[in-house]
Structure 1
Amino acid sequence: MPRIVDHAQRRAELTVAVWSLIREQGLAGVTIRNLSQRSGWSSGAIRHYLPNREAILNFAAGQIGEQAWQRVQSVPASSDPFQDFLNRLEVTLPLDEEGRVWLEVWLAFVGAAVSDQDFADAQGVLYRDLNTIFVGAFETFARQGWLPAHTPQAAATEIHALLDGLSVHLLLRQITPEQARTTLETALSRLLTPPDSG
């Protein structure tokens, strides 16, 4: 009887191996040979999923967006829309080990994107994915009267830029998680006003 291959599990294993290479050696350290050594897979098995270095890096970049999406979607809803949105924004920050891992990989791609259009395009996908989530949330707030002084796009751009800056400061250990949370909550409070508070 043929063995059943769990492709989702294999992709998860590859993600862990590729990301660990990037975190330790940067993007330059990502080769099929290094990935084979890190993952314990044969080169042939890797090529079945990712035929070359470009495919490996595109896969690694794509997994960043997927992780971000899963983390945002995993936040449970409550009766407090402000707190729910704040909680969703917080999980995009490197406030725990899981968040730190994927944001360290993200930062490696950001550095490469400065001089490489392919990496800039990959980062653009992640930016657009998150920006779409943020704009959609602010559009909902605007319809409900929470966003009196900004357009949803302007609010999304402002909060997205803040998240990027806080992420870098956290990764460099220049601020504490509590400082990041407080800064984010203060900024969101300036953007969103409950409609019955006026």
Structure 2
Amino acid sequence: MKLPNEESRINPRKQPKQKRSIKRFETILESAETLIVAHGVAQMKMTDIAAHAGVPVGSVYQFFPEKAAILKAILDLRLKAVMQGIKARLKDVRSEADARARVIDLIEDGAQIHLHNPLCRELWMATSVDPDLAQLQYQAHEDLGAFAFNVLGPFVGERESACERDRFVLASLLTGSVLRCLADGNERAGALLDEWKKLVCDIVLSPAKSASKE
């Protein structure tokens, strides 16, 4: 999938370098998050962000060409934090049983975040309606799948090698779908999450060993 180029409408016009600019940049993003949680992505306006941040609206446009660029900056920070958490969870995996337990823990971590942070729902909505943001979301799943495969590859069962990495990407995409159900408040989300936790390790690792037949 082709990613937006550096001149894309969703990229910042410039990255802050001086301490004062960095602080203003961060304040703008914090204000945007607050407004998103309070009123939703659709209702958020650049003028509202400026007013909440206590800066001229021109300062907002100095960094961001439009609202989608602010959403992308927020999404980038969230995805970076997610990847850091995943790397910490998958550090020094010792066995297949250990790998299975950690994968389940990761899904539980994501579930708790999506249940208790209303920003998740709004970011999912933003990626649903903006093709450029959707491309970035998909790339995040590709990167996550590739990383998980590199770490957990030694515990993958005997399968066609060409399919192994794709299974991890698929697992990342499907986990995202289940977590979105949680964020949306879907009444079936809890049951779907429980079922997915039973299936995901068999998809990416060796199928669970069943009792031997006599």
The alignment's TM-score, normalised by the length of structure 2, stands at: 0.66
* Alignment partners' CA distance in 1, 2:54 and 2:30: 12
* Alignment partners' CA distance in 2, 1:41 and 1:98: 32
**Over residues 154-190 of structure 1, what are the superposed CA-to-partner deviations in whole Å (9 max), with x where a residue is unaligned?**
312431232122112212332466x465333311232
- Report the alpha carbon displacement of residue 67 of structure 1 after superposing the two structures with TM: 3.6
Among the aligned pairs, what percent are the same residue?
Answer: 12
Distance change in 2, residues 1:64/1:96 (3 Å): closer
- Residue 108 of structure 1 is aligned with which of 108, 125, 137? 125
Question: Which segments of 5 or more consecutive residues in structure 1 lack a partner in the other structure?
Answer: 113-118
- Tell me, what secondary structure is at the counterpart of 1:148? coil
Question: Which segments of 5 or more consecutive residues in structure 2 lack a partner in the other structure?
Answer: 1-17
Determine the structure 2 residue equivalent to 1:136. 147
Please provide the CA RMSD for this pair: 3.6
- Residue 161 of structure 1 is aligned with which of 165, 168, 173? 173
The alignment's TM-score, normalised by the length of structure 1, stands at: 0.70
Distance change in 2, residues 1:153/1:134 (3 Å): same
Structure number with greater CO (CA < 8 Å, separation at least 6) is 2
- Tell me, what secondary structure is at the counterpart of 2:69? helix
* Alignment partners' CA distance in 1, 2:120 and 2:108: 13
Query: Where do residues 26-37 of structure 1 align in structure 2 (5 Å cutoff)?
Result: 26-37=40-51
* Amino acid in structure 1 at the alignment position of 2:158: P
- Tell me, what secondary structure is at the counterpart of 1:95? helix
- Residue 95 of structure 1 is aligned with which of 105, 112, 118? 112
- Report the alpha carbon displacement of residue 94 of structure 1 after superposing the two structures with TM: 4.0
Q: Confirm or deny: 8 A CA contact 1:141 1:147 kept in the other structure.
A: no
Determine the structure 2 residue equivalent to 1:81. 99
